[in-house]
Amino acid sequence: MGWTLGRYFFFRYVSITIWFFLGLLALVFLIDFTELSGRTTGLPGFTYGTAFAISALRMPMIMLQTVPFVGLFSAMATLVSLNRRYELVIARSAGVSAWQFLFPCCVGALMFGLLSVGVLNPIAAHGFSWSEQMENQLRAGKSNSVAEDTTPWLRQKTNSGDTIIGARAILNQGLEMADAVFFVLDQQGNIVERKDAARAFLRDGYWELQDVKLFKDGNIRAETSDRVATNLKPEFVQERL
């Protein structure tokens, strides 16, 4: 088989492989982005830009798993398209053997595999690591931080009275707060005590405060731990704050 015919078959295989790979990439990205957005859309730090970046960083790792199938189905699609246009029939009538017109596809598949191992694999490893870090930060970290000028507050009602609660960050799916502030109110709605805690953990029926500063009657007292009664659930705290 001449070089011209072999090069033609080779580039047909390469072009079909590229289009097949890009089409599968778009489909997988759309599915992953939709699924990720559905799982994280309720988080305080969620943005569609963040979800887009996480899905984009995952794509090399996901597509790396599809490389053998892309190579196989691209070769099948190439041969089918050549056969439909009677190009294989003409090649066979000219004395070209089956191994000769399969050889360009084999070379293309080999190059595709080498590129996947040498280029796509390192990119996939780094990209997947970054996507995991971004998702972890989104779920419990800096992405859940609250800007100082827009700090939201919630008000809880218990048998002992009302308490107004605010925090700089919500961690661990609403089970933990960083730099939390508790204003304890009396029956008339007046502030009788303020509690600043470095960390606040939501337990069964109470908040467990650590590294606490208590402000009451003009006095400041430091405590290693304290408790505030509550009837709140983690999902409510996460959604509200």
Mean pLDDT of the chain: 84
Same domain? 167 vs 48: no
Regarding whether 166 and 137 lie in a shared domain, the answer is: no
**Residues 6+ away with beta carbon under 8 Å from 230:** 156, 158, 163, 202, 205, 206, 207
Cβ pair 60, 123 in contact under 8 A: yes
Task: Out of 94, 118, 143, pick the residue that ends a domain.
Answer: 143
Q: Provide the pLDDT for residue 148.
A: 47
**Half-sphere exposure (Cβ direction) of 11: Cα atoms closer than 13 Å:** 5
Taking the complete model, does pTM exceed 0.75, yes or no?
no
- Give the residue among 194, 207, 199 at the shortest CA–CA distance from 234: 207
Same domain, 126 and 77: yes
Nearest alpha carbon to residue 77 among 105, 112, 110, 107: 105
Residue 49's domain comprises 3-143
Q: Are 168 and 223 within one domain?
A: yes
Domain end call among 98, 125, 143: 143
Residues 26 and 63 in one domain: yes
* The total number of structural domains that make up the chain: 2
Domain final residue pick, 119, 143, 167: 143
Banded model confidence at residue 147, pLDDT cuts 50, 70, 90: very low
Is residue 48 within 8 Å of residue 37, measured between CB atoms? Answer: yes
Q: Are residues 156 and 61 in the same domain?
A: no
Instruction: Specify whether 14 is located in the same domain as 86.
Output: yes
Nearest to 173 by CA among 95, 107, 235, 88: 235
**Do 88 and 112 fall within a single domain?**
yes
pLDDT at 145 over 70: no
Q: What value does the mean pLDDT take over residues 170-178?
A: 78
